Amino acid sequence: MANRLQLLEMAFKDQVVARLSIEREVNNQSYVNLLLDKKLASFIDRLEKMNKRYQHLEKRFDDISARLYSDESIGFIIILVIIIELLLRFKPQVQALQLRVRGQEKKLHHEEKESPQPKNGVNYSPKHGISLKNELCVVVFKRDNNNIISTFIDLAIKNLDDVKLTTPTHYVIEKHDVLRQIPRTRLYLIVSEIDEKSTFGFCRQMDNDIQISTIRFIKSLGGSIILVIANDETSKKLTAHSLYNTSLRFIQSNDILQELASNGKVFSMWRELSSHQMSHLRKIIRTALNLKLPIR
């Protein structure tokens, strides 16, 4: 009897444990179901929001479709067409104006680039209001050829009795500082010499610099310039009506000398000028100094 009671007690305890396990599982399942219900409710809420957004977008699409056929849209399209037509019609004029403006800008840039700049303390900007004497000033760059220069001057102004020379008759420019001592006259006769060792018509770099600086400075004074390049052996082969040797690199490499050459104010010679060159030189002197033509 005692054994049976003990067995019944043990069976009862097992049933109690099993019931507690079942109850715990039921509670867990209820919690899981609750979580699933919440997630399902959240999902349904999102679906409803998406449905509302879709309906809103559908409504906006309908509104835009309706506006395409409204008077405002038609007016906007007409204005847009008019603007495009005006742009196409005035495009050539605008392009021409742009090209003109660019051309002016390039011209100004070119002038600024070529405008003379102060160098070695000498300002080459044009001097306005300077009174120029109606005289001829001869400029050379070597002191050891005074006799040659004197002879050349006598030949150049032969039969030009009205020509008045400066005192002294010629100025020697060996440094940039001497440029300020040059008198202000209406005509300058610049005599340059080619280096005897040069085979391509070059002056020495030092001579080249001082000569170009002298020409720029004299040009800034407002006087006329005549350039005579001596000691050029190739000039012996000049044609009858040629004024200078066009293959001289000294002239080709300097824009200011090319400008003088284009105006017929550059001469080249070996020992003396030809009769044609001398005649043209005297003509330039008469014109620059406003001398009367000789009566024949």
Give residue 205's pLDDT.
46
Q: How many CA atoms lie within 13 A of 289 on its CB side?
A: 26
Give residue 293's pLDDT.
63
Nearest partner of 211 among 195, 232, 190, judged by Cα: 190
Three-state DSSP string of 67-129: HCCCHHHHHHHHHHHHHHHHHHHHHHHHHHHHHHHHHHHHHHHHHHHHCCCCECCECCCCCCC
Count how many residues are written for the chain: 296
**Rounded distance between C-alpha atoms, residue 286 and residue 143, angstroms:** 28
Three-state DSSP string of 199-235: CCCCCCHHHHHHHHHHHHHHHHHCCEEEEEEECCHHH
**Rounded distance between C-alpha atoms, residue 14 and residue 10, angstroms:** 6
Nearest partner of 169 among 260, 156, 177, 124, judged by Cα: 156
Residue type, 147: N
Give residue 199's pLDDT.
45
Provide the CATH number for the domain around residue 250. Answer: 3.40.50
pLDDT tens, residue order, the chain (296 aa)? 777 777 887 888 888 888 888 888 888 888 888 888 888 999 999 999 999 999 999 988 888 777 766 666 777 788 888 998 888 888 888 788 888 888 777 766 665 555 445 555 555 555 544 688 999 999 988 776 666 667 777 777 766 777 888 888 888 888 888 888 889 999 999 988 876 554 444 455 456 788 999 999 999 988 899 999 888 888 888 888 899 999 888 888 889 999 999 999 999 988 888 889 888 988 898 888 887 766 55
**Rounded distance between C-alpha atoms, residue 204 and residue 58, angstroms:** 89
- Answer whether residue 192 is part of any domain: yes
Q: Any residues with CB less than 8 A from the CB of 172 and at least 6 apart, and which?
A: 140, 141, 142, 143, 178
- Answer whether residue 169 is part of any domain: yes
SS3 252: helix
Residues 144 and 278 in one domain: yes
Residues 84 and 140 in one domain: no
Residues 145 and 280 in one domain: yes
Residue 295 token pair: 């009566």
**Rounded distance between C-alpha atoms, residue 97 and residue 274, angstroms:** 52
Domain count, the chain: 2
Residues 90 and 195 in one domain: no
Only one residue has tokens 């030189």, namely 281
- Answer whether residue 59 is part of any domain: no
Nearest partner of 141 among 215, 192, 217, judged by Cα: 192
- Answer whether residue 245 is part of any domain: yes
Give residue 145's pLDDT.
61
Nearest partner of 140 among 213, 189, 201, judged by Cα: 189
Residues 197 and 266 in one domain: yes
- Answer whether residue 41 is part of any domain: no
Task: Please state the pTM of the whole predicted model.
Answer: 0.55
- Answer whether residue 80 is part of any domain: yes
Asked if 201 and 248 count as a contact pair (C-beta separation under 8 A), the reply is yes
Range of the domain at 154: 133-288
What angle separates helix 146-156 from helix 275-288, to the nearest 10 degrees? 80
Residues 138 and 282 in one domain: yes
Q: Specify the DSSP element, H or E, that contains 131.
A: none
Give residue 200's pLDDT.
41
Buried b (16+ CB within 10 A) or exposed e, 286-295: bebbebeeee
**Rounded distance between C-alpha atoms, residue 257 and residue 282, angstroms:** 20
